[in-house]
Chains A and B, each alone.
Chain A
Amino acid sequence: MNDPILEMRGVSKTFFGIKALRAVDLTVYPGEIHALMGENGAGKSTLMKILSGAYRPDPGGEIHIEGRAVRIEGPLGGRAAGISIIYQELSLAPNLSVAENIYLGREVSRSGLLAHGAMREGVGPILKRLGADFLPSTLVAHLSMGQRQLVEIARALHVRSKILIMDEPTTSLSAAESERLFALIRQLRAEGLAIIYISHRMDEVYALGDRVTVLRDGRLVGSLDKPEIRADTIVRLMVGRDVSSFYKKDHDPKAGRGHPVLAAIDMADGGRVKGCSLTVHAGEVVGLAGLIGAGRTELAHLIIGASPKISGRLELEGRPVEIRTPGEALEAGIAYLTEDRKALGLFLDMSCLDNINLAVLGRDAKLGWILDRDKARERADRAFAGLSIRAANVGVPAGGLSGGNQQKVLLSRLLAIAPKVLILDEPTRGVDVGAKSEIYSIIDNLAKAGTAILVISSDLPEIIGICDRVVVMRAGHIAGEVSRGPNSPLAQEDIMGLATGMEHLDA
């Protein structure tokens, strides 16, 4: 085997006295896809941010690139060392064009003026090589998530990076976009790039990984070569024990299926949602499937009054209700977990405690207005224990948590409400396997207790694993419904068929 392109030795990182990384050694070779796995908060993103120069490691560690020791200082340092990173949250400027984004920080100018033409021409070949279907002059704001990712990759190629880091790149991509991305990643590997790939999705790691390195609690607990990459070996390394049954569905939808709790009738917003009706019964978990862009999130926003509707009505437990704002939805007992936790969910500067209690502050308050701090504290502690949220304490700002732990904090806020109807939009996005199974069993228990649950998810195995019934949306309409037979499970082909409008599909 050839020489490693990257060697990290004894790299540690401490945040405010909390050890995020403890003497991690990582070796990466050119032309390999190196998967990095670990539970939420294990330190994956932190390790990569050290490589890219976003964080400075504690003194004492060493980083070698192509055999030479380097010090990476600041984001430009990472770039100079040949390392590019595509963050968990994309970092493009939406108000600039594709070419301007790719050249950001290294703009070409002629006598002080930006040379737009030259920049556009400069990125043309790379975009072509990546198979991009948009022009260099397109505004990034007009691109889909998948296309934006291509721009990020183009930026990395353009600076001739030798190491490309991708931190959960597929969380906001459709299945087709993910497939395209995988093909591209393989192509880049063939060209000799080293790719470090962070993901919580086993299927992606099987499909791509040449080697898997697992972090736990900031320590490197092992590396697996291709033949050893199996779910059980990885999970055991990640959580230090076996996770037996993954999807949990103990509640009996037939016996427990109560009265209809939520009925949405003919909802439309004049745009992405064109007349959709669906019903969720007490104690039932209904999946809302469909391709990205089918209008699922928009339908959820209509139901909770987050966007104005042009037609449609809601019935709650058989009675018509008028819901115009998310606040009214909450008062009526409908809670919604947003898919966009950074922009629409969390308050990054506020403590986890406040984030968790936000929706129930009024209910808990003494005399209607005075905060009940003991109750809030207790609730937050319980949420931390129940979902094993990893942070120094409940008082730290939510923004300092790892992606998956932020998701758990947001989920805790909804669970605190104890709603009648729970709408979960991509509830396990960015969440590690252990926590996923915790979330599934929470959903299961809520259904047992009679909550009506609607789960929007792009993860088909997840939908099939936890739902009793799946409603499928396509292009703003309800395309159909797939039910679980007495002995037959939900069929992936049926769902994909409805979602794409094709009868058969090798999904």
Chain B
Amino acid sequence: MPDKGAVGAKPASTPTNGAAAETRRQRMRMLISALGMLPVLLILCIGFNVLSEGRFFTGQNLGIVLQQAAVNTVLAAGMTFVILTGGIDLSVGSILAASAMAGLTLSKVPELGMLWLPASLLTGLVFGIVNGALIALLRLPPFIVTLGSLTAVRGLARLLGADTTVFNPSIPYAFIGNGSLTLVPGVASIPWLSVIALLVILVSWLVLRRTVLGVHIYAVGGNESAARLAGIKVWAVLIFVYGISGLFAGLGGAMQAARLYAANGLQLGQSYELDAITAVILGGTSFVGGIGSIWGTLVGALIIAVLSNGLILIGVSDIWQYVIKGLVIIGAVALDRYRLQGSART
């Protein structure tokens, strides 16, 4: 039998060089996957700035972008929790409308007006917990449950205002909708809406990365049967994530109410769930659960806002905005798939 010694005479440097190149390539890929969609966001910003002859990077325009991104960021943060468990929440737009209606209605009651804000949050939380309970305890599919509440809660929202638009020009805490937090007087300020959105992201990050509950959320999304066998109360985790999604939708409702001084149960928040889901997916969170980060979601929400703003800025017609947005989303996710290939398991 020929022995293997005869073939050991290859130049030793060949495999080593090859390996080094391979390592470099993998390092590169890891870096790209850590940055996620951030480069896409930056390219979009720079591109729009060039195309609009410098009108994108003005303090005023950036303020508008941040403000426009705020509500979607808050919804998308809640959606991140849900999608991390492998679920979906289609009802956030409707819950947002119902919460805004509940808040505005209460704000007109003379003695209780100040309580409108907590009332909005509570409305959202309750709807979210109902979603969660149906999913966790009756083991119904999230898609079906939240599709049902998308419709049912929309109806309730209309009912709350007797199917009219509710106005309150003197709503308390209106500053959160239109005011700005002054950072450097006369130079830099940041809209309160954006401050709230950033706080929501920060809190979400803390919960997801620094608490036991956060690990349990990733675990449920990664492998639900294993989570159950490891002693995790899967039902509690599910109720929590849908509760959070509802709560954040309620907060989104409050933000809208304070911004518009008005809400209409039929129109407010229509198809907001799609923007929220898009932001989460653009942010690299896996649709099957278990993988993703809240920072990615923030970037995703900003991409959507920049896209809307930039297309208007350079004067693209409304119709083409839809087409371009759709294509960018598909393209971005395709790019994402490509960069994830390197880490694919077998």
Contact = CB atoms under 8 A, between A and B. Distances in A.
Interface of A: 1, 4, 7, 9-10, 12, 14-17, 19, 22-23, 25-27, 49, 54-55, 58-61, 220, 223, 225, 304, 306, 325-327, 329-331, 336, 338, 343-350, 354, 357-359, 361-362, 365, 369-371, 399-400, 413
Interface of B: 1-2, 4, 7-8, 10, 12, 14-19, 21-23, 26-27, 30, 210-216, 218-219, 222-223, 225-233, 290-291, 345-346
A361 to B, nearest CB: 4
B212 A60 contact: no
A376 B114 CA distance: 45
B308 to A, nearest CB: 33
Instruction: Pick the most buried of A16, A19, A349, A361: most chain B CB atoms within 10 A of its CB.
Output: A349
B15 A220 contact: no
Contact of B19 (A19, A346, A370): A19
Question: Taking chain B's interface residues, is the majority helix, strand, or loop, or is none over half, making it mixed?
Answer: helix
Given A16-B23, A17-B23, 10 more contacts: A10-B10, A10-B15, A12-B19, A14-B22, A27-B2, A60-B19, A354-B215, A358-B232, A361-B216, A369-B212
A469 to B, nearest CB: 27
A396 B22 CA distance: 19
Contacts of A23: 8, 10, 12, 15
A330 B233 CA distance: 12
A1 B1 contact: yes
Nearest to B8: A25
B137 to A, nearest CB: 14
Contacts of A54: 346
Contact of B226 (A58, A344, A357): A344
A26 B12 CA distance: 17
A54 B231 CA distance: 35
B1 A225 contact: yes
Given A58-B15, A354-B215, A348 B222 contact: yes
B225 A343 contact: yes
Contacts of B229: 304, 306, 326, 336, 338, 344-345
Given A348-B222, A349-B290, A16 B14 contact: no
A397 to B, nearest CB: 8
Given A14-B23, A23-B15, A336-B229, A347 B222 contact: yes
List of 6 A-B pairs having minimum Cβ-Cβ separation, nearest first: A59-B18, A60-B15, A327-B231, A330-B231, A60-B14, A347-B222
A115 B26 CA distance: 44
Given A17-B23, A400-B345, A12 B18 contact: yes
A326 B230 contact: yes
Contacts of A306: 228-229
B23 A25 contact: no
22 contacts: A10-B10, A16-B30, A55-B346, A58-B15, A59-B17, A60-B15, A60-B17, A306-B229, A326-B229, A327-B231, A331-B231, A343-B223, A343-B226, A345-B226, A347-B227, A349-B222, A349-B290, A359-B230, A371-B212, A371-B214, A371-B215, A400-B345
B73 to A, nearest CB: 25
Nearest to A64: B7
Contacts of B14: 10, 59-60
Contacts of A359: 230-231
A464 to B, nearest CB: 29
Nearest to A371: B210
A406 to B, nearest CB: 12
Nearest to B236: A327
A16 to B, nearest CB: 5
A304 to B, nearest CB: 8
B7 to A, nearest CB: 5
Nearest to B228: A326
A454 to B, nearest CB: 16
B55 to A, nearest CB: 43
B290 A361 contact: no
Given A327-B232, A369-B211, A347 B4 contact: no
A61 B14 CA distance: 8
Contacts of B10: 9-10, 23, 60
Contacts of A370: 210-212
B203 to A, nearest CB: 13
B18 A60 contact: yes
Nearest to B210: A371
A59 B230 contact: no
Contacts of B226: 338, 343-347
Contact of B26 (A15, A345, A399, A400): A15
Contacts of B23: 14, 16-17
B1 A59 contact: no
B15 A61 contact: yes
Contact of A223 (B4, B215, B216): B4
A383 B2 CA distance: 43
Contact of A58 (B2, B8, B18): B18
A5 to B, nearest CB: 13
A7 B3 CA distance: 12
Nearest to A91: B346
Given A23-B15, A371-B212, A346 B223 contact: yes
A413 B219 CA distance: 14
B25 to A, nearest CB: 10
Contacts of B19: 12, 14, 19, 58, 60
A16 B346 contact: no
B290 A58 contact: no
A329 B216 CA distance: 18
A369 B2 CA distance: 63
A74 to B, nearest CB: 12
A148 to B, nearest CB: 18
A211 to B, nearest CB: 8
A17 B26 contact: yes
A16 B344 CA distance: 12
A331 B346 CA distance: 35
Nearest to A336: B229
A330 B211 CA distance: 20
B230 A349 contact: no
A60 B21 CA distance: 11
Instruction: Pick the most buried of B27, B230, B232, B233: most chain A CB atoms within 10 A of its CB.
Output: B230
Contacts of B213: 369
Instruction: Pick the most buried of A60, A329, A370: most chain B CB atoms within 10 A of its CB.
Output: A60
A346 to B, nearest CB: 6
B218 to A, nearest CB: 6
Contacts of B27: 16-17
A379 to B, nearest CB: 14
B7 A9 contact: yes
Given A330-B231, A336-B229, A338-B229, A14 B290 contact: no
Given A60-B15, A326-B229, A338-B229, A371 B211 contact: yes
A297 to B, nearest CB: 12
A329 B231 contact: yes
A61 B12 CA distance: 11
Contacts of A59: 14-15, 17-18, 21-22
A498 B235 CA distance: 42
A362 B233 CA distance: 12
A48 B8 CA distance: 20
Contacts of A15: 26
B7 A7 contact: yes
A326 B228 CA distance: 7
A361 B4 contact: no
B159 to A, nearest CB: 38
A223 B4 CA distance: 9
Contact of B215 (A25, A26, A361): A361
